[in-house]
Amino acid sequence: MYWTFLVFLHVVAMAFFLGGQIMLAFTVVPVMRAEPAQPEKIKQVAQRFGMGSLIALGVLLFTGMALASHYELWDYGPFQVKMALVVATIVAVFLHMMRGNNHVLMGITFLLTLATVYAGVNLTH
């Protein structure tokens, strides 16, 4: 039951992190940009999502390490690929936080997140 709960937390945190990026990029930002004087609101939304994302990343790291230890994945090649993607994603997130409205970093973060999720799904079978 405990391990199932950790998997559940891991998946919910991943859904928040990836789903939030999709929601912001494809719905919130385009709608808000269409109206004048919305840059400040976009910034506020992005900052709130950023805080939630940091919490989600913390949950992902904690649950991911616990699950990797439980299932003895640390020496498994596909898991190591996922970990490399996780590190790259975290670096991209922090670069994006420091650089603000950099569309290239946003795109890189999104693509790395997708690749990380795909690598994680690949570990399940």
* Residues 99-108 pLDDT 10s: 877 888 889 9
Among 90, 74, 85, smallest CA distance to 121 is for 85
Tokens at residue 69, please?
A: 């230890």
Is pLDDT of 9 > 90?
Answer: yes
**Domain boundaries, given as residue ranges, for the chain:** 2-123
Model confidence pLDDT, tens digit, residues 50-102: 899 999 999 999 999 999 999 999 999 999 999 999 999 999 999 988 887 78
Question: What integer best gives the mean pLDDT of the chain?
Answer: 91
pLDDT of residue 37: 66
* pLDDT more than 70, % of the chain: 99
Inter-CA distances, 49 with 25, 26, 93, 95, 105, Å: 12, 14, 12, 16, 16
With beta carbons less than 8 A apart as the criterion, state whether 18 and 111 touch: no
- Average the pLDDT over 14-22 and give the result: 95
Among 48, 55, 44, 45, smallest CA distance to 14 is for 55
Distance CA 83, CA 116 (A): 8
* pTM for the model: 0.88
Can you say how many angstroms the Cα of residue 73 is from the centroid of all Cα atoms in its chain? 21
Biggest alpha carbon distance in the chain? 53
Q: Which residue has the tokens 């596909």?
A: 78
pLDDT of residue 100: 72
pLDDT of residue 54: 92
